[in-house]
Amino acid sequence: MLRVIPCAALLVLAFVCPATAGIPRGVTLSADEQIADDKTGEIIARGNAEIAVGNTSINGRADVIQLRPQANEVVLKGRAVLTVGHRRYESDTVACSLDFMRCAAEAADQPEPLPTGSAATTP
């Protein structure tokens, strides 16, 4: 009986570890589909994607959530809603550092910024 439990635990770990390779400690990521890149640690969660951080008040949901450890960022795309403490971000795209200390919401209909040194003209 004792040999069955360690074998079963190893089988579970074999399926769980690849999907959590790039997730920082305490972060829970769930979705209909998850894809992990073992080389970069990047994880893409698609379809009803949700993210939460342990016992904190950080949680969010979006159509797609990308965790990018090498770029030190998490990006929520498509009907993105993220709550970090008392702050709420709601937009087409919300991007944060992996520690959630810096976050920004971007709307798809925002105009592109003008290049440095350019002036806006009106017809």
CATH number at residue 81: 2.60.450
Q: Encode pLDDT of 43-53 as tens digits.
A: 999 999 999 99
Are 61 and 77 contacting, i.e. CB atoms less than 8 angstroms apart?
Answer: no
Q: Tell me, yes or no, whether 38 lies in a domain.
A: yes
Query: What pLDDT is attached to residue 73?
Result: 93
Number of domains in the chain: 1
Query: What pLDDT is attached to residue 107?
Result: 74
Q: Tell me, yes or no, whether 111 lies in a domain.
A: no
Query: What pLDDT is attached to residue 2?
Result: 39
Quote the tokens at residue 37: 């890149």
Closest to 104 measured CA to CA, from 113, 91, 122, 115: 91
Quote the pTM value.
0.69
Q: Average pLDDT per run of 10 along the chain, which is 123 residues long?
A: 37 38 77 94 95 91 95 95 94 94 80 49 46
Which range marks the domain in which residue 15 is found? 4-106
Q: Which residues pair with 95 in a beta bridge?
A: 75, 104
Q: Encode pLDDT of 15-28 as tens digits.
A: 343 444 456 688 89
Q: Which amino acid is at 120?
A: A
Query: What pLDDT is attached to residue 111?
Result: 52
Q: Tell me, yes or no, whether 96 lies in a domain.
A: yes
Q: Tell me, yes or no, whether 22 lies in a domain.
A: yes
Q: For strand 33-36 and strand 27-30, is the pairing parallel, antiparallel, or unpaired?
A: unpaired
Q: Tell me, yes or no, whether 78 lies in a domain.
A: yes
Q: Which amino acid is at 88?
A: R
Are 104 and 87 contacting, i.e. CB atoms less than 8 angstroms apart?
Answer: no
